[in-house]
Homo-oligomer: A and B are copies of this chain.
Amino acid sequence: MGGGLPLMEKIEGVLIDLDGTIWRGNELIPQADEAVAYLRSLGKRLVFVSNRGNWSRRMCHEQLRRFGIAVAEEEIILSSTVTAQFLRAHYPLCQVWTLGDEGLHEELQHYQVPLAPVPEEADFLVITLHETMTYRDLDLAFRAVHHGARMIATNIDKMFPNEHGNAIDVAGMVGAIEAATARKVEVVLGKPSCFMAEAALRQLKVPPDLCLVIGDSVQSDIRMGRMYGMKTALVLTGNTKRSQLDMLREKERPDYVIDSIYDIIGLGKGVMW
C-alpha cells in the first residue's frame, strides 16, 4: 500500500457511497474492500451513505459482509434509514403507507413508524424504488394520496444503471402518483439533502471540514460534500464518465477525481481541480 493522499492527514471522517463506489449490481468493484480496510488502518471514522431507499440497513449490512467488508450497522446510512428517522422524530402520531420494495418497510418497522392498515387511513405515502411493482401497488399508493395522504420520497433519482443499461428509478414512481393526483412530494430525504449529511455527521462525530466524501455521483455525493464544506473525491466506477468532467460547473467540481476508490491509497491518478 502506498503512502496515501497527503490530504488524508487532514481527514478524520470519510463518507463512502455504495452503488457505483463499493459495488456495481452484485459485483464488488475491484479492491474496494482493500480501500476500506486501508482507511480503517489509518484510524479514520467511516460511514457508508447511500440513496438506496428500497433496502434496509440489515440488507445492506449483509451485502457488505458478503463482500468481506466489516462494518457496524450504525455505520450504514440509507435514505430509507433517514426517512424512517425523520418520520419518527417529526410525525410520531402519523400512519404511513409505502410504495417501494420490502427494505423500506423493514426500515420503517425498525424505527417503529406506525404503518396504516389500509391506504385510505395513511397520513403519509413514502415513495422509493419498487423493482417488483405491479399496477395494484401503484393503485394502492394512488388511493392513499387520493384520500389525503401527503407524499415524501426517499430520493428522486431518475434512473440507475443495471445490466440492461439504465433503469427507471424513484422519479418514475413519484411522477405516476403526482400526475394522477395533482399533488406533490413535500420532502425528499436522499443525498444531497441536509437530512443525509447531518445523519452522517452525527454518526461520524467529526466536523465537516475534516471529512472526505467518496462517491460516483456529482449531483448527490459531490454536491452534498461541497454544500457542507467537506473535501470530495469523485470515482469513475459508476455514474460519471471521464468525458463528462469538462462539463462540470464550478459548484459540482470534486477536489479529487480518481479512477476507483482503490486509488485513495495511492497518489498518482488523483486529479486535483
Partner-B contacts on A (CB < 8 A): 90-91, 93-94, 120-121, 123, 147-148, 150, 156, 171, 174, 184-188, 192-194, 198, 223, 227-229, 249-252
Contact = CB atoms under 8 A, between A and B. Distances in A.
Nearest to A251: B148
B188 A184 contact: yes
Given A123-B227, A228-B93, A192 B148 contact: no
A150 B192 contact: yes
A249 B184 contact: no
Contacts of A90: 194, 198
Contacts of A193: 186-187
Given A174-B184, A186-B187, 16 more contacts: A90-B198, A91-B194, A91-B227, A93-B228, A93-B229, A94-B227, A121-B251, A123-B227, A148-B223, A148-B252, A150-B223, A156-B184, A184-B188, A185-B185, A186-B188, A187-B193
Contacts of A185: 184-185
Nearest to A229: B93
Contacts of A250: 121
* Secondary structure class of chain A's binding surface, majority of residues: mixed
Given A93-B228, A198-B90, A227-B91, A187 B184 contact: no
Nearest to A190: B186
A248 to B, nearest CB: 9
26 contacts: A90-B194, A90-B198, A91-B194, A91-B227, A93-B227, A93-B228, A93-B229, A94-B227, A120-B249, A121-B250, A121-B251, A123-B251, A147-B249, A148-B223, A148-B251, A148-B252, A150-B192, A156-B184, A156-B186, A171-B184, A174-B184, A184-B185, A185-B185, A186-B187, A187-B187, A187-B188
A34 to B, nearest CB: 33
A174 B184 CA distance: 11
